[in-house]
């Protein structure tokens, strides 16, 4: 489980490194290296805004998408350890 958390955090960190390097190479200051992490935390704090005419499918689709991605991540082996869900 620790390796999964480290993979997620380092992917966000390296995304920030790439964006920062590209902005410096083009002569701009650019965002900080931890900006993707700050963006994720800020977006998780925001509430959902739905129209009165939206259906149940529209409201539950993000949850289904996120859970399917997590299930796929849990099936991937990490190093010498098997995936959290393995057959």
pLDDT tens-digit profile, the chain (87 residues): 787 788 888 888 898 899 999 999 999 998 888 888 899 899 889 988 888 998 999 989 989 999 999 898 888 887 888 888 877
Residues 38 and 56 reside in one and the same domain: no
Contact 16, 36 (CB under 8 A): yes
Query: What residues make up the domain containing 24?
Result: 1-47
Phi and psi angles of residue 39, each rounded to the nearest 5 degrees, phi first? -65, -45
With tokens 């701009």, the residue in question is 28
pLDDT of residue 65: 95
Query: How far is 86 from 81, CA to CA, in rounded Å?
Result: 10
Among candidate residues 16, 31, 47, the one where a domain is terminated: 47
pLDDT of residue 81: 81
Tallying the residues shown for the chain, one arrives at 87
Contact 32, 39 (CB under 8 A): no
How many domains does the chain divide into? 2
Residues 62 and 39 reside in one and the same domain: no
Residues 41 and 54 reside in one and the same domain: no
């Amino acid at each position: 489980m620790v390796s999964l958390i480290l993979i997620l955090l380092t992917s966000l960190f390296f995304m920030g490194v790439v964006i920062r390097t590209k902005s410096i190479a083009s002569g701009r200051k650019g965002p900080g290296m931890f900006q993707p992490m700050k963006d994720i935390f800020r977006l998780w704090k925001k509430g959902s805004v739905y129209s009165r005419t939206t259906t149940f499918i529209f409201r539950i689709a993000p949850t289904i998408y996120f859970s399917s991605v997590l299930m796929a991540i849990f099936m991937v082996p990490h190093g010498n350890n098997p995936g959290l869900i393995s057959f």
